[in-house]
Each structure stands twice: as C-alpha cells, then as structure tokens.
C-alpha cells in the first residue's frame, strides 16, 4: 500500500476512535500527576506563591481551547464540524469565519484543551511527549479528512487550502461567517467539552488534597464543576426529550 493510502487508512481509523484513544493519555497524565503530588520537590513551581494560581492558569488554557471550539461550532451549518465518529461527513465546505484563518480549528481547540491539564502535571518532558503524540495522532486524522474533502469538493477545496494554513492560524484574511452564531448548537454540541474540562481539573485538585492529606481542595473549582455537571444533565435531557435546542439547518 502506498504511503498516501496508508496515511489515509490510519487517519480514518484514528478518526473513528478519537473519542476513546485519548483516554490513554488521560490515564498516563493521572499517573504522572499522582507521582508528582507524592514528590512535590520535582516541581517547585506549585510550591511557591505562583503555585496558588497555577491551576487557574492551566484551567484558562483549556478554556481558551473550549472557546475556539465554541466559536467554530456556533457558526457552522448542519452536518459539518461534528462529533460523528462513524464516517467523514461534510454537506458543504466551511471557508468563512474561523475557517478563513485555519483549516482545522476544532483540533486547534482540542490541543489547548489537552494542554491545560497536561501542564498541570508539572513535567516539561511529559508536556513535550504529549505534544509529540498529539502531532502524530491528529496529523493522520487531518490528512484523512483533507483527502475526503479534496475528493468531494475538488477545486473549491484546493483553492481554499492553498491560502489557509492547516493548524497555525494566519493573522489576516478573516471572512465574516455566512450564518449567525447559534447558542443552541453550541449548547447541544459542546456540553461534553465544558463538563470534561472542569471535571478533570476538579479531580486533579481533590486528588492532590487527598495525597497530601491536607484537605485543602479548591472549593470554587469544586462548585464550578458541580454547576457544569448539573448543566450537562439538563442539556442532555433537553437534547433527547425536547426540541428546545433544535434549529433548522444547524
């Protein structure tokens, strides 16, 4: 099999399993974090005055990633930029809004969402390892997606791709989105990301308090986590039992 077809095959497989494979990174991150909490001397930053705010810095980085996803999803039409895992899906090509600056904004958002808790583990070598894994992992997925789009949209896709970078956004050439922003679509599609961000940081914070046996967990973070869990359950109910979050064409 030629390398091009091999990359596409690998990318499609990773695409179909992208909801589960990152759990391996989560498990590795938890192991590294637990070891660091038991040996705080290996990461002194969390012991000084800056350590009091370090968790907020890492949380902010993850929320930046979530914001990128929200900004992307809120302007997209139905059957594009989705969370489907069975097959590639694109009824039309998104080329306006954030897609006029970068071809894969959702994966850019995912990167920052990953980066926050990875930084909080406290090891530069682990951050570098995860970044390398992310590059290899999503490079294959992006390759497979672009092969699909190239075959479906032809010259429209190639003309757009020639001027818009794949992952690092350009700083000019922004085009106003074709559709208005849809909070309904955001609430329906991005509730998982919101609750996962706060849940991961809350679990890490409570685990830190338990390991150090000081009981000093972050109450504000715990309250925010509980709020996002309740919000998630409400939105989940509304999605599957009402039409409140439905919007034609979105």
**Does residue 154 form part of some domain?**
yes
Residue 238, Cβ density class (10 Å: 0-12 exposed, 13-18 middle, ≥19 buried): middle
Domains identified in the chain, total number: 1
Angle at 230 between CA 37 and CA 182, to 5 degrees: 110
Encoded tokens for 239: 């999605």
- How much is the pTM? 0.88
Helix (H) or strand (E) holding 162: helix 155-163
CB-CB contact of 138 with 107 (8 Å): yes
**Does residue 212 form part of some domain?**
no
Q: Looking at residue 173, what is its pLDDT?
A: 92
CB-CB contact of 46 with 120 (8 Å): no
Q: Looking at residue 161, what is its pLDDT?
A: 94
* CATH code, domain with 33: 1.20.120
CB-CB contact of 88 with 145 (8 Å): yes
Q: Is a pLDDT exceeding 70 seen at residue 85?
A: no
Nearest-angstrom CA–CA distance, 85 and 76 = 18
**Does residue 217 form part of some domain?**
no
CB-CB contact of 130 with 114 (8 Å): yes
**Does residue 91 form part of some domain?**
yes
Q: What is the mean pLDDT of the chain?
A: 86
Beta bridge partners of 175: 97
> In which band, very low, low, confident or very high, does the pLDDT at 15 lie, cut at 50, 70 and 90?
confident
**Does residue 242 form part of some domain?**
no
């Amino acid at each position: 099999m030629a390398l091009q077809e091999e990359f596409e095959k690998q990318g499609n497989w990773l695409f179909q399993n992208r909801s589960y494979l990152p759990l391996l990174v989560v498990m590795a991150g938890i192991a590294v974090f637990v070891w660091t909490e038991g040996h705080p001397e290996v990461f002194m930053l969390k012991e000084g005055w800056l350590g009091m705010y370090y968790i907020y810095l890492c949380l902010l980085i993850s929320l930046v990633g979530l914001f990128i996803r929200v900004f992307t999803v809120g302007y997209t039409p139905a059957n594009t930029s989705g969370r489907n895992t069975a097959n590639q899906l694109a009824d039309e090509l998104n080329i306006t809004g954030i897609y006029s600056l970068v071809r894969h904004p959702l994966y850019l958002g995912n990167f920052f969402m990953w980066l926050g808790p990875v930084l909080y583990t406290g090891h530069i070598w682990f951050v570098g390892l995860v970044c390398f894994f992310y590059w290899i992992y999503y490079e294959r997925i992006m390759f497979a997606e672009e092969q699909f789009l190239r075959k479906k949209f032809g010259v429209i896709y190639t003309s757009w791709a020639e001027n818009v970078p794949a992952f690092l956004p350009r700083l000019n050439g922004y085009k106003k989105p074709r559709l208005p922003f849809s909070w309904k679509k955001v609430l329906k599609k991005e509730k998982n990301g919101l609750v996962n961000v706060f849940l991961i940081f809350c679990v890490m914070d409570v685990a830190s308090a338990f390991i150090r046996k000081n009981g000093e967990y972050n109450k504000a973070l715990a309250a925010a986590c509980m709020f996002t869990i309740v919000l998630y359950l409400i939105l989940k109910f509304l999605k599957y039992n009402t039409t409140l979050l439905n919007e034609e064409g979105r």
